Amino acid sequence: MKDITLKEIASKLGISITTVSKALKNYPDVSEKTRNSVLELAKSLHFTPNSFAVNLRTKESKTIGLVIPEVVHHFFSSVINGIIDEAEKHGYLVIIVQSNESLEMEIKQIEMLLNKRVDGILISLSNDSNDDEHIKEIQRRGVPLVLFDKISKLINCSKVIINDQKAASDAVEHLISVGCKKIAHIRGPLNPQNSVDRFLGYKKTLERNNIPFDASLVYTCKGAGFDEGYEFTKQLLNEHPDVDGIFAVTDMVAVGAITYLNEINVKIPEQVKVIGFSNWFMGQVITPKLSTIDQPGYEMGVKSFDLLFEEMQHKSETIFKYKTVELETGIIARESTLGK
């Protein structure tokens, strides 16, 4: 199928390419008659401008890049959903790449996006990202950038986050309010800001409530998945048989914990109460239903694109004021802390 070009329309109509172009873009200086004939022919030939040529001229592709640790993940896929929807509303398409929680991959993928000359980049950092040179490179190249969820405080750019410390604090306060005296924390990896913040929220809340912080009650995951939740809970119950509350860094970890507790017939919430983080769907259907922190994934996606969009509009300006948007979280109390 040969592509239709302005040239072709022009020659068929016996007019110049310029006039065709102007007619199609509704320039005022084209006669009604000419415009109509162009519009008509263009329509009947199914003309669509060659985006490669348009990109080259306008230096933009109406495409953004999204770098995410993993697509198969309830929270992230919600964010992706929000980003794609919002981007589409503004006529943007989204290229998605995965870092698989590896810094090396992240660097490589960002390079690909940069070379593809996307108009802007959205990133949720991998757990490995302690080196920020590749992120700064994005800014050096003048490409608008927004970080969301897993951010780095060292990077100066717009961000969309939740207040992990406060959310964690809410979770732990809730456990205390329902009677927990000895609360363990299965935390995320040491590096990512959000797992650090959740840990700090846990620690500070204990202290605020005059419960001495005990480092041996803190278990550190590598990946924060089901298996680690299961295994650390086993270990926890051995080391601290009198534990009565568990704050898990993600719902997946919490579900691992619950699975183990169910297996050894420890009653939830009577003997041990469990709370997770993120409000994955799964938490509603396990037994007992999981209490958790509601983290607005879709909204985070929408907001992230909005900030990026704003920055893309103002690209030429030398001074652009970066914003950090903090989204509200909520606590969802279910059976794993309240009982039936």
Binding region for its own copies (CB under 8 A):
1, 48-53, 55-56, 59, 61, 63, 70-74, 77-78, 80-81, 84-85, 88, 93-98, 109, 112-117, 140-142, 226, 255, 258-259, 262, 281-282, 285-287
User: What's at 85, amino acid-wise?
Assistant: D
Cβ-proximal residues to 284 (8 Å cutoff; 6+ apart), any chain: 290, 334
Strand ranges (E), the chain: 63-68, 93-98, 120-123, 145-148, 158-162, 183-187, 218-220, 245-248, 273-275, 292-294, 324-327, 330-332
Q: Does 182 bind DNA (CB under 7 A)?
A: no
Q: Does 53 bind DNA (CB under 7 A)?
A: yes
Which partner in DNA, its own copies, none is near 77 (CB below 5 to 8 A by kind)? its own copies
Provide, rounded to whole angstroms, the least separation between the CB of residue 310 and DNA. Answer: 22
Provide, rounded to whole angstroms, the least separation between the CB of residue 42 and DNA. Answer: 10
C-alpha 299/C-alpha 301 separation (Å) is 5
Beta bridge partners of 324: 159
Q: Does 49 bind DNA (CB under 7 A)?
A: yes
Query: Among residues 217 and 255, whose Cβ is nearest to its own copies?
Result: 255
Closest by CA position to 52, among listed 145, 117, 144, 138: 117
Q: Does 262 bind DNA (CB under 7 A)?
A: no
Strand ranges (E), 154-277: 158-162, 183-187, 218-220, 245-248, 273-275
**Token pair belonging to 27:** 């320039």
Q: Which stretch binds DNA (CB under 7 A): 43-51, 65-73, 242-250, 309-317?
A: 43-51
Which partner in DNA, its own copies, none is near 116 (CB below 5 to 8 A by kind)? its own copies
Strand ranges (E), 175-261: 183-187, 218-220, 245-248
Query: Among residues 12 and 74, whose Cβ is nearest to its own copies?
Result: 74
Q: Which stretch binds DNA (CB under 7 A): 5-13, 123-131, 174-182, 207-215?
A: 5-13
Which of 1, 3, 44, 317 binds DNA (CB under 7 A)? It is: 3
Restricted to residues 16-35, the positions that interact with DNA (CB under 7 A) are 16-19, 21-22, 24-25, 28-34
Residues belonging to the chain = 340
Query: Among residues 6 and 254, whose Cβ is nearest to DNA?
Result: 6
Which partner in DNA, its own copies, none is near 30 (CB below 5 to 8 A by kind)? DNA
Q: Does 114 bind DNA (CB under 7 A)?
A: no
**Token pair belonging to 75:** 């929270």
Q: Does 42 bind DNA (CB under 7 A)?
A: no
Burial of 116 (0-12, 13-18, 19+ CB in 10 A): exposed
Residue 286 in contact with residue 324, Cβ under 8 Å?
no
Provide, rounded to whole angstroms, the least separation between the CB of residue 85 and its own copies. Answer: 7
> What count of other Cβ atoms lies within 10 Å of the Cβ of residue 216?
9
Q: Does 5 bind DNA (CB under 7 A)?
A: yes
Burial 221-249 (b: 16+ CB within 10 A, else e): beebebebbbbbbbebbeeeeebbbbbbb
**Chain-centre distance of CA 219, in angstroms?**
25
Which partner in DNA, its own copies, none is near 285 (CB below 5 to 8 A by kind)? its own copies
Burial of 217 (0-12, 13-18, 19+ CB in 10 A): buried
Provide, rounded to whole angstroms, the least separation between the CB of residue 143 and DNA. Answer: 15
Provide, rounded to whole angstroms, the least separation between the CB of residue 114 and its own copies. Answer: 7
- Binding residues for DNA, per CB under 7 A? 3, 5-7, 15-19, 21-22, 24-25, 28-34, 47, 49-50, 52-54, 56-58
